[in-house]
């Protein structure tokens, strides 16, 4: 069974983290030797060495670039700004990455310990068991692909929806039950792993993997070419949405993103007047957008790039790039469909299928057409 390395925090050289609590023991493993600490410890890296402070008195000195911290019992990360503490299974690891300023706090956890914290963070409590199980198979497949593709990197996934959300130790029994019932099960197509992409709501028409995620060959397969009909998610609160944003803010965000990414043609725009579909996939979902200014200048960009470009809007990011925008007075009124990239499993659609009595297998067949489920590890062999 693979381990997953989850990036929890990126820290700068002046930052610190506090790990553990009064009941815990922390074992620190480094090239300087192993040591055991009782209670909470504070870890910092003021210049190029680690400092660990706790009840045992400060231990300072040059340690390996990567330090492995074993907490006995679930590790605790105190919540920031009045938020509750978070508990984590597995180990903590602090790492300095070549060429990247600062350091990172990583949770190293087995796949089956990791997944309940994904399901609880990604799905609503009370959704059907089949929905949780289909999501478990998708999330396990996605994370396994990340592990395989990122062996050169310090971490495999983040704990945010940029990869898949993760809350540490899950408290929801449905999440644990779904992971247990699908132990070791992965999505495969022609004996190759399917990266089980998913999003909150496809808005009715699916995205294709290569458009939504990237032109990697692992994405150019039939199971990621989009689901068929009928539409399953039309009752989702995020199925269709409207957002009003000051036009000047949209223009400024586009220009800033253009500079950051070297996308020079956006500099031609003297404002934003209209955003409309410029191309769509075989299902009819927009893939490219045309942005026009008052003078008739226009640029074309992908739906995903529009979401990236407007991610920093004070009004919050767009829920999806499948949208249009029209100028009304000083504002752009966006009208969009769905929430997330729209490829693979649609969580709201999978919830509705579960409520209608569809099985885990039927949900997987609908959202990953042609994929098979195979158990690759675990004791729990089933027919």
**Minimum gap (Å) between residue 194 Cβ and Zn ion:** 18
Which stretch in 63-71, 120-128, 213-221, 348-356 sits in contact with Zn ion by CB under 5 A? 348-356
When binding is defined by CB under 5 A, the residue of 96, 349, 351, 367 that contacts Zn ion is 349
Distance of alpha carbon 314 from its chain centroid, rounded? 21
Residue (164 or 347) nearer to Zn ion, CB: 347
Q: 218 phi and psi, to 5 degrees?
A: -65, -20
Residue (251 or 285) nearer to Zn ion, CB: 285
Q: What share of the chain is helix, strand, coil (3-state, %, to 5)?
A: 25, 30, 45
**Minimum gap (Å) between residue 232 Cβ and Zn ion:** 6
**Minimum gap (Å) between residue 233 Cβ and Zn ion:** 3
Residues 46 to 105 in contact with Zn ion, rule: CB under 5 A: none
Residues in contact with Zn ion, shown as a per-residue x/- string from 297 to 326 under the rule CB under 5 A: ------------------------------
Residue 121 token pair: 């963070």
Residues in contact with Zn ion, shown as a per-residue x/- string from 174 to 193 under the rule CB under 5 A: --------------------
Which stretch in 78-86, 113-121, 195-203, 271-279 sits in contact with Zn ion by CB under 5 A? 195-203
Please work out the total of residues on this chain that contact Zn ion, with binding judged by CB under 5 A: 4
Residue (122 or 273) nearer to Zn ion, CB: 122
Compute the distance between CA of residue 142 and CA of residue 85 in angstroms, rounded to an integer: 27
243, 221 Cβ separation under 8 angstroms: no
Residue (193 or 233) nearer to Zn ion, CB: 233
**Minimum gap (Å) between residue 280 Cβ and Zn ion:** 16
Residue (110 or 362) nearer to Zn ion, CB: 362
- Of 158, 140, 115, give the one whose Cα is nearest residue 195: 140
Count how many residues are written for the chain.
383
CA contacts within 13 A on the Cβ side of 306: 29
Compute the distance between CA of residue 200 and CA of residue 204 in angstroms, rounded to an integer: 12
Which residue reads 């098979």 in tokens?
Answer: 372
Name the DSSP class of 121: H
Residue (346 or 353) nearer to Zn ion, CB: 346
Distance of alpha carbon 117 from its chain centroid, rounded? 12
Residue (102 or 161) nearer to Zn ion, CB: 161
Residues 196 to 215 in contact with Zn ion, rule: CB under 5 A: 202
**Minimum gap (Å) between residue 320 Cβ and Zn ion:** 11
Residue (7 or 307) nearer to Zn ion, CB: 307
Residues 6+ apart with CB under 8 A from 238: 200, 201, 203, 319, 338, 339, 348
Which residue reads 């680690």 in tokens?
Answer: 50
**Minimum gap (Å) between residue 225 Cβ and Zn ion:** 15
**Minimum gap (Å) between residue 134 Cβ and Zn ion:** 13
**Minimum gap (Å) between residue 322 Cβ and Zn ion:** 11
Q: 171 phi and psi, to 5 degrees?
A: -110, -5
343 near Zn ion (CB under 5 A):
no
Which stretch in 27-35, 269-277, 284-292, 346-354 sits in contact with Zn ion by CB under 5 A? 346-354
274, 325 Cβ separation under 8 angstroms: yes
Residue 63 CB burial class (10 angstroms; 0-12, 13-18, ≥19): buried
Residues 215 to 244 in contact with Zn ion, rule: CB under 5 A: 233
Strand order in the sheet with 192-193: 192-193, 185-189, 372-375
Q: 61 phi and psi, to 5 degrees?
A: 155, 170
Which stretch in 108-116, 175-183, 218-226, 342-350 sits in contact with Zn ion by CB under 5 A? 342-350
Residue (249 or 344) nearer to Zn ion, CB: 344
Binding residues for Zn ion, per CB under 5 A?
202, 233, 346, 349
């Amino acid at each position: 069974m693979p381990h997953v390395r989850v990036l929890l925090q990126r820290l700068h050289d002046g930052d610190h983290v506090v790990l553990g609590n009064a009941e815990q023991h922390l074992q620190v493993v480094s090239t300087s030797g192993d040591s055991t600490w009782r209670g909470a410890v504070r870890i910092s890296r003021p210049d190029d060495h680690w400092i660990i402070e706790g009840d045992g008195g400060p231990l300072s000195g040059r340690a390996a670039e990567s330090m492995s911290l074993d907490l006995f019992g679930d590790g605790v990360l105190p919540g920031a700004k009045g938020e509750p503490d978070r508990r984590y299974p597995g180990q903590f690891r602090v790492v300095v990455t070549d060429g990247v300023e600062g350091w990172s706090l990583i949770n190293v956890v087995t796949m089956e310990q990791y997944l309940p914290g994904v399901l609880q963070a990604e799905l609503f409590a009370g959704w059907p068991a089949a929905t949780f199980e289909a999501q478990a198979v998708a999330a396990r497949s996605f994370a396994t692909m990340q592990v395989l593709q990122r062996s050169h990197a310090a971490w495999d996934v983040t704990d945010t929806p940029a990869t898949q959300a993760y809350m540490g130790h899950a408290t929801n029994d449905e999440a644990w039950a779904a992971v247990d019932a699908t132990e070791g099960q992965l999505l495969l197509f022609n004996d190759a792993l399917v990266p089980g992409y998913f999003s909150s709501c496809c808005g009715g028409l699916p995205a294709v993997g290569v458009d939504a995620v990237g032109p990697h060959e692992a994405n150019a397969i039939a199971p990621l070419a989009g689901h068929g009909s009928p539409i399953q998610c039309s009752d989702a609160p995020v199925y269709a949405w409207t957002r009003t944003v000051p036009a000047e803010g949209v223009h400024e965000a586009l220009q800033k993103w253009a500079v950051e990414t070297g996308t020079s043609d956006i500099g031609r725009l003297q404002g934003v007047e209209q955003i409309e579909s410029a191309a769509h996939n075989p299902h009819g979902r927009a893939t490219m957008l045309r942005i026009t200014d008052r003078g008739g200048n226009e640029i074309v960009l992908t739906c995903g790039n529009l979401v990236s470009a407007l991610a920093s809007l004070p009004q919050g990011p767009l829920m999806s790039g499948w949208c249009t925008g029209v100028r009304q007075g000083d504002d752009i009124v966006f009208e969009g469909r769905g929430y997330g990239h729209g490829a693979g499993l649609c969580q709201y659609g999978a919830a509705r299928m579960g409520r209608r009595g569809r099985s885990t297998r039927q949900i997987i067949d609908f959202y990953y057409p042609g994929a098979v489920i195979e158990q690759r590890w675990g004791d729990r062999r089933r027919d």
